[in-house]
Amino acid sequence: MSATTDKQIADILATYGEPLAGNVWRVQGTAVIYHKALERIAVQARIRFDAPVIVRAERDEAVILVTGHMPGPNGDRTEWSIGEALIGVNYRVSGKQAAYVFAMAEKRAKDRVILKLAGLHGLLYSEDEADEFKASRPDLVAANTQARKAGPAPAPEEGEAADDAEAPRAAPESAAGSAEADLTARIDEAQSINAVTDLMLAPETQSALAAMPSGLRDEVREHAKARLVALGWPARSAAKARKAAVA
């Protein structure tokens, strides 16, 4: 991903109050964004979705058409997309993990619509677009490595969601707290927006974040976002301009 593309993505994300750092990673040069980040963008952009249209419904396959609308200064913009999930082809299920083909198809369709409406289509892919994208998530890669070193995790309780059941265990709280304090200090020492972004995208930072409990990880990301704003990152002003444009 070129520096020009990085800047284009960062500028668009900033209009929705989202930084590049902590939300985007690369898979063989392809930029990938977290599904949760797209959900937050959809809220900020006031995107609303029509009821999905079921195109294909089989035991191992679902194809869904999703249409979304985003308010703008000249009226609503509308985009639509198809989400597909076929077990064994573009949706892999392993072990005792349950298969949710309709949920996956809907997520893929909605994420594609959000990317189109937000102006990110062609620049980014959702993590749910392909199994290799999700498998390469920095937090999962690092946490899986740590979990293997720690030994097998306890069996999930009956009724646990598949994603939660297969989620790697986090590092001990004391170690995570120390890592959080160190990373927070390094964020404070960064003297430019690029320095903060480079720090948060660095592999060692992604590994440290992955080892933290979700609460601490979110705190670090919010701290980085606050530091970006303090250094002049246009989140606040851009968000205000966007709200004024759609009011």
pLDDT digits (tens, 9 = 90+) for 70-105: 998 888 999 999 999 999 999 988 777 788 999 999
What is the rounded CA–CA span in Å between residue 53 and residue 180? 44
Give the model confidence (pLDDT) of 196-247 as tens digits.
888 887 778 877 777 788 778 888 888 888 888 888 887 544 444 445 444 4
Q: How many residues does the chain have?
A: 247
| DSSP assignment letter at 68 | E
Calculate helix-pair angle for 214-230, 203-210, nearest 10 degrees. Answer: 140
Question: Beta partners for 91?
Answer: 87
User: What values do phi and psi take at 197, rounded to 5?
Assistant: -60, -45
Alpha helix stretches (DSSP H) within the chain = 3-14, 35-44, 101-118, 131-135, 138-150, 162-165, 173-189, 193-201, 203-210, 214-230, 235-246
Give the model confidence (pLDDT) of 150-162 as tens digits.
666 555 554 444 4
What is the structure's pLDDT at 2? 67
What are the E-state strand segments in the chain? 24-27, 30-33, 48-49, 53-57, 61-70, 77-86, 125-126
Calculate helix-pair angle for 138-150, 203-210, nearest 10 degrees. Answer: 60
Q: With left for phi above 0 and alpha for psi between -120 and 50, is residue 93 left, alpha or beta?
A: beta
Q: Which structure tokens are listed for 19? A: 């930084």
Q: How far apart are the first and last CA of the chain?
A: 34
Instruction: Enter the pTM of the model.
Output: 0.65
Domain definitions of the chain by residue range: 140-145+166-247
Which residues, including other chains, have CB under 8 Å from residue 25's CB and lie 6 or more apart?
31, 32, 136, 137, 138, 201, 206
Residue 37 identity: A
